[in-house]
Amino acid sequence: MLGAIIGDIVGSRFEFDNHRSKDFELFAEGCFATDDSIMTLSVAKAIMETQREAADAPAADAAGLSDAEDAEEAFYPRLRANAVYWMRSIGQHYPDCGYGGRFYWWMFITDNPAPYDSFGNGAAMRVSPAGFAACSMEEAIALAKAVTEVTHNHPEGIKGAEATAVAVYMARTGRTQQEIAAHIVEHYYALDFTIDGIREDYIFNETCQHTVPQAIECFLESCSFEDAIRTAISLGGDSDTIAAITGAIAEAYYGIPNTIRAQALSYLDDRLRPIYDEWEARYGMGQRAH
């Protein structure tokens, strides 16, 4: 999931001042961890806490669950509740990190945080932990849907989150870029463009439909983790979120160079860093397949 955080931090200074080139300093004045990073870590915390709660249950029978299928059915409602709790609990410490208007209302104003039929790319920017934690593609999809539909319950929002989580899962389990592309085209988006071909006319857009396929394509055209991030920034548009989505997939595929990892972690404060450390202790992947 650090790849998403790196993409977010690198892209933060370019979100409203696009840089349509690969030539720039990755970390510079003006970079910071935006809502993309904070919500990614919140989703990670929700997944960890839900898995811990499930593991801590003495036995399925003690919870009134007759079999593993019943236990699984109980897991996802618990995950949805934990996603709401941790996104709000952590996120309310960062009121100025860049939340969108409706999400800000969901985060701070309402006493009844309910989904609001969104297909914004906030669905995809935060979902990468689902792809890293899953033990199967089906689980990646189920985890992604559960943590997304608490806010972004529009079909296009769920589609964007699922496509991102699936791409992460496939990348970390040894699938090639060609295999990932073929699966995304078959099940989610037509990737009938190149980044060079759309860069000049690409404009700022915050919907899943017009950012998730572009972010996936940035990864598919890359040759390294750093190149993936630079390609995502060079596209322009909603730079931090596009780079966050690209970065998550690129991490799963390439891993992250140690120097970039260390620089990015320096942006996490004392509330966020322990969540990352806990995640790494549980899900750290070591050497990648590519």
Task: Identify the band that residue 57 occupies on the pLDDT scale cut at 50, 70 and 90.
Answer: confident
Is the residue at 288 inside a domain?
no
Q: For residue 95, give the CATH number of its domain.
A: 1.10.4080.10
CA atoms within 13 A on the CB side of 168: 36
pLDDT of residue 73: 75
CB count within 10 Å of CB 189 equals 18
Number of domains in the chain: 1
The whole-angstrom distance between residue 200's C-alpha and the CA centroid of its chain comes to 26
H or E, element range at 159: helix 155-172
In a domain, 290, yes or no: no
Residue 242 falls within a domain, yes or no?
yes
Give yes or no for residue 285 having a pLDDT over 90: no
Average pLDDT over every residue of 44-54: 97
Mean per-residue pLDDT, 46-67: 74
289 is a domain residue: no
Four-point Cα dihedral 77, 79, 83, 85, nearest 10 = 70
Question: What percent of the chain is predicted at pLDDT more than 90?
Answer: 91
pLDDT at residue 179 greater than cutoff 80: yes
What pLDDT, on the 0 to 100 scale, is given for residue 287? 44
Domain coverage including residue 82: 2-283
